[in-house]
């Protein structure tokens, strides 16, 4: 049977075989000039893994939306960072032809700077003025989720070289 043509690009992905990782999902052209790249930062393999918890999703959203924009290489090119409703990952949108290697390197810089978080106080913007639900967060399980994701992007040797060897050692435990 012919499958319906999808107008949402993520619906064209076979989620039964999708693994954790960083994927370029689509490129949107705005006014035929500005190319916006939509990246799938998949933290959990759909169906194979339990999804992230709501506290983890919210915590990662706050930290990544803030710190990725401060990154010296890709920060000025970040358009948005948003959680997936299915809680298996996040969408990162960029402009200026940022590539996957640059995003991967930026993630290592942010990880090195921010993780592991120690308490609620490390979660930027988590207050009643700046956030709609500041009681929703997680510390230990967010550290675990981020380390797990980074292990998908970095081998042990690459992690050591990037200064994030703790993703394999889990020194905070
Ligand atoms: Zn919030």
Is the residue at 6 inside a domain? no
* CATH number of the structural domain spanning residue 137: 3.30.1360.80
User: With contact defined as beta carbons under 8 Å apart, do 90 and 82 qualify?
Assistant: yes
d(CA 33, CA 11): 26
Q: Could you read off the pLDDT of 72-109 as tens digits, one per residue?
A: 999 999 999 999 999 999 999 999 999 999 999 999 99
Q: How far is the CA of 39 from the centre of ligand 1 (A)?
A: 21
* Residue 127 in domain: yes
Residue 74 lies in a domain: yes
In this prediction, residue 24 carries a pLDDT of: 93
Q: Per-residue pLDDT for 117 more than 60? A: yes
Rounded distance from Cα 54 to ligand 1 centre (Å): 11
**CA-based nearest residue to 91, from 73, 105, 103:** 103
Is the per-residue pLDDT at 23 higher than 90? yes
Average pLDDT for the chain: 92
pLDDT one-digit tens code per residue, 42-66: 999 988 889 999 999 999 999 999 9
Question: Would you say residue 26 lies in a domain?
Answer: yes
- Distance (angstroms) between ligand 1 centre and the Cα of 134 equals 6
- CA 156 to centroid of ligand 1, rounded, Å: 32
Look-up: residue for tokens 């070289």?
Answer: 161
The whole domain housing 44 covers: 15-164
Residue 3: inside a domain:
no
Give the C-alpha separation, 71 to 110, whole Å: 8
Residue 21: pLDDT over 70: yes
Residue 83 CB contacts under 8 Å (≥ 6 apart), including other chains:
57, 58, 60, 61, 89, 90, 91
pLDDT over 90 percentage in the chain: 82
- Angle, to 10 degrees, between the axis of helix 140-153 and the axis of helix 100-114? 150
pLDDT attached to residue 14: 83
Q: Is residue 58 assigned to a domain?
A: yes
Domain count of the chain? Answer: 1
Local confidence band at 146 (pLDDT 50, 70, 90 cut-offs): very high
Q: Which candidate, 100, 96, 67, places its Cα nearest to that of 81?
A: 67
Mean predicted confidence (pLDDT) in 140-168: 96
What is the model's pLDDT at position 171? 57
Distance (angstroms) between ligand 1 centre and the Cα of 3 equals 37
Q: Give me the pLDDT at residue 173, please.
A: 46
- The pLDDT value recorded for residue 93 is 98
Classify residue 60 by burial, with Cβ atoms within 10 Å: 0-12, 13-18, 19+: buried
| pLDDT exceeds cutoff 90 at 7 | no
Q: Answer yes or no: is 169 within a domain.
A: no
Give the global pTM.
0.91
Ligand 1: distance of its center to the CA of 132 in Å? 5
Residue 4 lies in a domain: no
């Amino acid at each position: 049977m012919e499958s319906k043509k999808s107008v949402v690009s993520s619906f064209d992905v076979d989620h039964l075989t999708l693994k954790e990782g960083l994927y370029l999902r689509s490129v949107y052209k705005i006014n035929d000039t500005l190319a916006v790249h939509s990246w799938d930062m998949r933290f959990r393999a759909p169906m194979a893994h339990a999804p992230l918890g709501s506290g983890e999703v919210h915590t990662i959203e706050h930290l990544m939306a803030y710190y990725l924009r401060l990154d010296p290489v890709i920060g000025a090119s970040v358009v948005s960072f948003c959680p997936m409703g299915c809680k298996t990952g996040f969408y990162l949108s960029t402009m200026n032809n940022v590539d996957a290697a640059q995003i991967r390197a930026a993630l290592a810089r942010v990880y090195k700077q921010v993780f592991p978080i120690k308490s609620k106080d490390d979660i930027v913007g988590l207050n009643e003025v700046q956030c709609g639900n500041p009681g929703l967060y997680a510390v230990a399980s967010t550290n675990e989720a981020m380390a797990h994701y980074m292990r998908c992007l970095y081998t042990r040797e690459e992690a050591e070289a990037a200064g994030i060897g703790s993703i394999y050692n889990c020194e905070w435990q």
